[in-house]
């Protein structure tokens, strides 16, 4: 005779497996294959900024002294900052609004967790998809920089993995933050954070033009670490601070990834 007690649901442990995560990336590729204009459109915003601000205003500004004390054109100064900002914006958009819809409305992850995928696989897969989209934007933007003569050093090709590192850091934190959001109104806070980061992280001006207190605030900005890292690579200016930038962004992404995996488990398997 069957007991009236329902069997307990077996909850798979959190793990971060590469094989299962690839399946989720493949699923996203199939979905966006019919919406390729959405993916491509994200490439044009930083390019428009580059030509309107970097090239247009650059004619009035003239040369700018970089962090290494080397004078460079304003367009060469702004281009790596826009690349870093593009990596941030793409990662944040993909890991917040899109994931919130899948989590709260589309119920996509409920169906996924009925398969061998675990919460950690979902977190890794979604962040991996964010990095893949970010890589497409970064490659296109680097080609524009090369054609425009805005990359004085061939070390600038290393800006691609640097942009992916920025995307990893912001995607991890973005997805972790999304799991705590309750409604679409909460996304106002995302803009409230990313807009000041975009404007005050050394993207458009050297930190030396800011007041001392604002320089101190800007140096703890995650985007500043990305901007300074990419700018140093494209201009061929190296110092030990680059290792600090890499460590900061990597730690930021790993913490966000861990929190995201645990939160997905709590929300969907509890």
Q: What is the pLDDT of residue 117?
A: 77
List pLDDT tens digits, range 125-139. Answer: 888 888 888 788 888
- Sequence spans of domains, the chain: 75-269
List pLDDT tens digits, range 232-250. Answer: 999 888 888 899 999 999 9
User: Could you give the C-alpha distances from 190 to 49, 89, 131, 186, 233, in angstroms and in order?
Assistant: 21, 10, 19, 8, 29
C-alpha triplet 256, 115, 92: angle, nearest 5°: 25
User: What Rg, from alpha-carbon coordinates, does the chain have?
Assistant: 21
> How do the pLDDT tens digits run along the chain, 270 residues long?
444 444 444 444 444 455 677 777 777 777 777 766 666 666 677 778 787 877 777 777 777 877 667 788 888 899 999 999 888 888 888 888 888 888 888 777 777 777 777 777 888 888 888 888 878 888 888 888 888 888 888 888 899 999 999 999 999 999 899 989 888 888 888 888 998 999 889 888 888 888 888 889 888 999 999 999 999 999 888 888 899 999 999 999 999 989 988 888 787 776
User: Could you give the C-alpha distances from 217 to 52, 245, 246, 256, 267, in angstroms and in order?
Assistant: 28, 15, 19, 22, 34
Q: What is the pLDDT of residue 19?
A: 64
Q: What is the pLDDT of residue 45?
A: 75
- Give the pair of three-digit tokens for residue 215: 């320089």
């Amino acid at each position: 005779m069957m007991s009236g007690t329902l069997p307990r649901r077996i909850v798979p442990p959190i793990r971060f497996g590469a094989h299962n995560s690839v399946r989720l990336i493949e699923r996203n590729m199939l979905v966006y294959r019919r919406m390729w204009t959405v993916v491509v459109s994200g490439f044009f915003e930083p390019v428009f900024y580059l030509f309107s601000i970097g090239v247009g205003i650059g004619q009035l500004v003239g040369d700018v002294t970089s962090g290494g004390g080397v004078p460079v054109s304003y367009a060469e100064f702004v281009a790596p900052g826009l690349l870093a900002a593009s990596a941030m914006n793409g990662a944040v958009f993909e890991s917040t609004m899109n994931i919130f819809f899948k989590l709260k409305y589309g119920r996509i992850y409920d169906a996924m967790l009925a398969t061998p995928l675990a919460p950690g696989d979902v977190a890794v897969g979604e962040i991996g998809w964010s990095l893949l989209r970010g890589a497409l934007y970064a490659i296109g933007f680097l080609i524009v920089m090369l054609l425009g003569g805005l990359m004085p050093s061939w070390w600038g090709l290393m800006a691609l993995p640097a942009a992916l590192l920025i995307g990893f850091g912001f995607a991890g934190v973005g997805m972790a933050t999304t799991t705590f959001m309750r409604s679409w109104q909460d996304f106002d806070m995302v803009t409230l954070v990313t807009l000041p980061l975009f404007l005050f992280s050394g993207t458009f001006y050297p930190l030396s033009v800011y007041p001392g207190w604002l320089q101190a605030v800007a140096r703890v900005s995650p985007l500043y670490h990305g901007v300074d890292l990419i700018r140093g690579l494209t201009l061929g200016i190296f110092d030990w601070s680059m290792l600090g930038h890499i460590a900061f962004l990597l730690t930021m992404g790993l913490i966000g990834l861990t929190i995201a995996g645990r939160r997905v488990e709590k929300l969907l398997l509890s």
